[in-house]
Structure 1
Amino acid sequence: MTTTTAVSTSLPHRRGLTEQASDAAVEQACRMLRLPTIRANFAELADEAAAEQMSYRGFLAELLMAECDDRARRRAARRIKGAGFPRDKSLRAWDFDANPHVDAATVHTLAKCEWVRKGLPLCLIGDSGTGKSHLLIALGTEAAMAGYRVKYTLATKLVNELVEASDDKQLSKTIARYGRVDLLCIDELGYMELDRRGAELLFQVLTEREEKASVAIASNESFSGWTKTFTDPRLCAAIVDRLTFGGNIIETGTDSFRLAQTRTKAAGPADNASI
């Protein structure tokens, strides 16, 4: 005859710890469970809970939500860092009044990242100083904060990396790596002419991502001028098609508000008052 041992499902025995011992126990438990936010804030939150006569459930919820919120912030910070943005740019710092060409409603809709979820492209077209890179980085940052994997690169840097990978017989691996990110941000497309090989390699990256993952580009050239960058007309047309089909196009205009701001600062308050 075999006997079965009953497994107790009752709560652990209360230890009756003093307040000092309780603090030490919480500290140790948080280290073991890897809960750094609770470990850093539980004493302050406990005092606040006591002062506000918060229920035990309410206090526990506050602790756990604080830990979850902080973990989400740390994950977002890692994704932003991993994206490789050259500088911090946010939508909060964008001045819609300074650039009336850019529609605020469109940008705020893009900031919700539905286009990234659907794998749609985005093109930012305009002259130097009109804020293309600012918007590219800011919208890329929004995507990273929303949980998407983002990678930023300059067009020439990407092409050079692809050429080197091809020479080293690592092209498939490199293209696959760029294919895994949810949003690929390519800046300064159109500043330099690409030879046929470089253009074809870039086309492979775009084809790998087509209708599966988003590409956002910033270019100082209108689409009609892309033949300066992609000298093969048929390849140029195919790349334009990949980057525009079903996506969004934002034209930031030709007037450099960056130059205007520089001139305003140089003029000084006295000169500005006389205008």
Structure 2
Amino acid sequence: MTEAPRILLTHHLKTLKLPTFLREYEKVARQCAAEGLDHVQFLSRLVELELIDRERRMVERRIKVAKFPTTKSLDSFDFKAIPKLNKMQVLELARCEWILRRENVIVLGPSGTGKTHVALGLGLAACQKGMAVSFTTAATLVNELMEARDERRLLRLQKQLDGVKLLIIDEPGFVPLSKTGAELLFELISQRYERGSKMITSNLPFDEWTETFGTERLTGALLDRLTHHVNILEMNGDSYRLGQSRARKAEATT
């Protein structure tokens, strides 16, 4: 190919936003020539590479937007360490059909049992399936809601959160919420009722959620909305983090 057509082709591919096509076409052309493949097979290979790379970039973008504190998959979770956790139920949830049905997931268990790891793994699975996800801690979310209310942009934030397919709220049981904070969180969850999926991790059993949300009336109304269409994962057992730490130390000394 002479220089002028090459420059023009590069310009067109950049305009069409086909970076993989641009990066790979010469190499694929050589491969197809060596294999005796025609122009249709050449174009088919390039289009397939572009689609694969585009999907990878879209997944990476969704993961970035989700604001996961770290990226963890279910493949790296040691289910044997938490025998009470129903592995088949978790793997079924990883298919993300519950999100399409606008159901909820509540993950219950003591600190250190891997609740956040499972939540991150299910959130990652949702991103890989093309779904918008948002991850936040309960404390961070409540602070954002209160700041938005004070700055008269609460409606905008609520609409933004309403746009995600899956909202993950990590550990609302760590600290009690103020009356205003609890009410704002309740309002957000109520708005998503049967409209968008929520996943909540908590180190408190349901009968102790009043300690976080303040009143039995508010807690009851909240649980009523969360548990109407719910999948519950129970992760009672020894500390998952402690077990992982011991295993790493044992490997280091062998």
Which residue matches 1:143? 126
- The reply to whether residue 89 of structure 1 matches residue 72 of structure 2 is yes
Which residue matches 2:230? 247
- CA deviation vs aligned residue, 1:83-118 (integer Å, no higher than 9, x gap): 111111111111122222222221121111111112
TM-score normalised to structure 2 length: 0.93
Within-5 A mapping of 1:17-96: 18=1, 23-96=6-79
Q: How much has 1:66 moved relative to structure 2?
A: 1.0
Please give the secondary structure, in 2, of the residue aligned with 1:73.
helix
- The reply to whether residue 123 of structure 1 matches residue 101 of structure 2 is no
Q: 1:29 to 1:227 in 2, by over 3 A?
A: same
8 Å CA contact 1:91, 1:138 repeated in 2: yes
1:127 & 1:217 partners in 2: Cα distance? 14
8 Å CA contact 1:185, 1:216 repeated in 2: yes
**RCO (CA 8 Å, sep 6+): is it higher in 1 or 2?**
2
1:213 & 1:141 partners in 2: Cα distance? 17
Of 202, 209, 219 in structure 2, the residue corresponding to residue 219 of structure 1 is: 202
2:197 & 2:226 partners in 1: Cα distance? 9
Q: 1:174 to 1:25 in 2, by over 3 A?
A: closer
Unpaired segments ≥5 residues, structure 2: none
Q: 1:79 to 1:264 in 2, by over 3 A?
A: closer
Q: Which amino acid aligns with 2:47?
A: L
Identity of aligned residues (%): 40
Q: How much has 1:242 moved relative to structure 2?
A: 1.7
8 Å CA contact 2:81, 2:240 repeated in 1: yes
Paired residues in the alignment total 254
Which residue matches 1:162? 145
- The reply to whether residue 228 of structure 1 matches residue 191 of structure 2 is no
Please give the secondary structure, in 2, of the residue aligned with 1:189.
coil
1:268 & 1:146 partners in 2: Cα distance? 35
Q: How much has 1:263 moved relative to structure 2?
A: 3.0
- The reply to whether residue 104 of structure 1 matches residue 87 of structure 2 is yes
1:70 & 1:91 partners in 2: Cα distance? 23
1:143 & 1:48 partners in 2: Cα distance? 36
Please give the secondary structure, in 2, of the residue aligned with 1:112.
coil
8 Å CA contact 1:23, 1:43 repeated in 2: no
Which residue matches 2:171? 188
2:87 & 2:174 partners in 1: Cα distance? 27
Q: 1:43 to 1:204 in 2, by over 3 A?
A: same
1:31 & 1:170 partners in 2: Cα distance? 38
TM-score normalised to structure 1 length: 0.86
Deviates more, 1:111-120 or 1:199-208: 111-120
2:84 & 2:9 partners in 1: Cα distance? 55
8 Å CA contact 2:99, 2:196 repeated in 1: yes
Please give the secondary structure, in 1, of the residue aligned with 2:188.
helix
Q: Which amino acid aligns with 1:75?
A: M
Q: Which amino acid aligns with 1:58?
A: Q
Q: Which amino acid aligns with 1:217?
A: I
2:248 & 2:163 partners in 1: Cα distance? 44
1:251 & 1:81 partners in 2: Cα distance? 28
- CA deviation vs aligned residue, 1:52-95 (integer Å, no higher than 9, x gap): 22232121111111111111111111111011111111111111
Structure label with greater radius of gyration: 1
Deviates more, 1:255-264 or 1:87-96: 255-264
Q: Which amino acid aligns with 2:49?
A: A
8 Å CA contact 2:148, 2:154 repeated in 1: yes
